[in-house]
Amino acid sequence: MGVRRSGTTLLRNMLNRHPEIAICRETDYYHYVYRRRRAFGNLSDPRNRERLAKEYLSTQRMQRMRVDLRTLETMLLREGDSYKAFFSTLLGFYAQTHGKRRCGEKTPQHALFTETLCAWYPGGTVIHLVRDPRDVIASLLRLPSAPNNVIGNANLWLRDNRAARQSRNSSQYLLVYYEQLVSHPEEELRRICAFIGEGYSPAMLIPNWDVTADRPWLRRAEEPVTTERLGKWREELTPEEVALVEWVVGPEMRRFGYEPAGRSPSYNAIGRTLLFAAWDAVSRRAGEFPGMWYSATRSRQLAKEEAAKERYRNRTFSLFH
């Protein structure tokens, strides 16, 4: 896990090619299920379990998993009698469908959920993938669903990486750098496999064009590993933008071993960018209001909330293109 555009999909694809490991795509379980446990109630009650299973499996993210949802629903109704058991059954079914022994998941936002996951799975592993914040932010600025300013995206990098680091003292935590992963993929994959107690498989580096890669950015992550995106921030960010990023994340990026370029932003640049960031946040909240309304007042209507968010993202994508 890690902030978006840190290579989480690339690493997911590599691990998913291992003959014993199945890593499903983003379930967003924390946002759509675990945060709403008061709304859905105790899952030891079969009626609550049925309500959650039907609503969650009707979302597009679950339908894109390309698994037998009817059989999965039957298993969830039978076995998902707690929020941990519900999640475990979901991941286990994905692994079973693909004939794998071990399961995992890659939602970046689950960085906010790592301590709970470590408590749920004492034998599991949290793989924290970190990438140079300047490269992450340069990439996020091209993403319609991300903030349209460097400060908003810098704060995302800060929030998710700080959250994931909360588990750094656990024996279950493994830090992986994107730069090392793409520069020395076999070496890093061997290190990861050794940490999780699996043998390295050469298949992990062979693209297999997963059928669930139904979106352009997912398909790009299926391509052979390349270092061509390393240091792209030098071309894609202005000196002022670089200075603003480092002003926000400087101490944290140093903790991860990334050296700032050294220039400090002017007070005028800070003020101007903060004003734009505030305007951008307000305008995005306005666009996201239908989805936020469902989340706040109809929190069990997961499919409708997701559809409202997708409409906003698709509209934003059209405006960007």
Supply the DSSP string of 82-141, one letter for each residue. Answer: SHHHHHHHHHHHHHHHTT-SEEEE--GGGGGGHHHHHHH-TT--EEEEE--HHHHHHHHT
Q: Against a cut of 0.75, is the pTM above it?
A: yes
Cβ pair 158, 252 in contact under 8 A: yes
Q: Give the start-to-end residue ranges of the domains of the chain.
A: 1-21+106-241
Lowest mean pLDDT among 24-38, 151-165, 225-239, 298-312: 298-312
Q: Encode pLDDT of 7-19 as tens digits.
A: 999 999 999 999 9
Q: Which of 37-41, 148-152, 299-303 has the lowest mean pLDDT?
A: 299-303
- pLDDT, residue 105, reads 94
Q: Give the pLDDT band of residue 153 (cuts 50, 70, 90).
A: very high
- Taking phi first (over 0 means left), then psi (-120 to 50 degrees means alpha), and beta for anything else, what does residue 262 get? left
Residue-level pLDDT at 298: 55
Q: Work out the average pLDDT over 103-109.
A: 91
Comparison of pLDDT for 80 and 169, the residue scoring more: 80
Chain segment 285-317, per-residue pLDDT in tens: 665 555 554 565 556 678 777 777 666 555 544
Q: Is the pLDDT of residue 211 over 60?
A: yes
CATH of domain 1-21+106-241: 3.40.50.300
d(CA 104, CA 193): 14
Q: Output the pLDDT for position 176.
A: 97
pLDDT band at 4 (very low <50, low <70, confident <90, very high): confident
Residue 118 to residue 164: CA distance in whole angstroms: 11
pLDDT tens digits, 63-75 = 888 899 999 999 9
Spatial separation of the C-alpha atoms in residues 249 and 33, rounded to whole Å? 31
Task: Please give the span between the terminal C-alpha atoms of the chain, in angstroms, as a whole number.
Answer: 29
Round to whole Å and give the CA distance between 311 and 290: 10
| Mean predicted lDDT score pLDDT of the chain | 87
Task: List for the chain the helix, strand, coil content (%; round to 5).
Answer: 60, 5, 35
pLDDT of residue 295: 60
